[in-house]
Structure 1
């Protein structure tokens, strides 16, 4: 009879190769992220190009994605942590939602975007 640890070894090896913080290489259609944004985010954030945020303390998606130095990876990391505060927002993003939002939000990047000092 094999010790229990050896029976779990294939699962442990597979788990070790998964990078929970990494962006999936599988692209998600930006339309999925846009739909999620309109349903789940638009009450606080401007979610489309040139949309104003309904809440002054919630930057628009366009402002967020045009922040200097922002990448898909840094945006995903920020999204994973920024909203997972149950007392403040009672809103959680699962990994597929993060991926969908990142894919959509990155479509709002504009090389000629004029940044303000606040963001």
Structure 2
């Protein structure tokens, strides 16, 4: 077993190598994703089950259907609120034919809660 004095330089070399790989900055813990409310969590689950075939429903995503806007683009539109988004979802005649289905009232509230978590100051649309 090596003596303590022989191990210490190896530890210092390893630490220096780790700092060099990070540009001299100490290693930081990964940022934790923001906690979603219960309603927003249900909204995300609904969106994953019903909306991902066309839309990117998470930040910085690309929609599978190029004609379907990513949800962070929608969420960051001027004037969008939980109320205006809920009114859009409740009014099925606004949907293109591919989206012609009814979203129940509870799911509308949940989707609105999730959608608003995608709002970011200074956001710039992807398209």
**Normalising to structure 2: TM-score of the pair?**
0.62
Which among 90, 95, 99 is matched to residue 80 of structure 1?
Answer: 90
CA distance in 2, matches of 1:98, 1:87: 19
Contact kept in structure 2, 1:37 and 1:101, CA below 8 Å: yes
Pairwise CA distance, 1:93 = 0.5
Aligned-residue Cα RMSD (Å) equals 2.4
CA distance in 2, matches of 1:54, 1:80: 24
Which among 54, 57, 69 is matched to residue 44 of structure 1?
Answer: 54
CA distance in 2, matches of 1:45, 1:38: 10
**2:31 matches 1:31:** no
Pairwise CA distance, 1:83 = 6.6
Which among 83, 103, 107 is matched to residue 97 of structure 1?
Answer: 107
Change (3 A) 1:112 1:28: same
Q: Return 5+ residue gaps in structure 2 as ranges.
A: 1-36
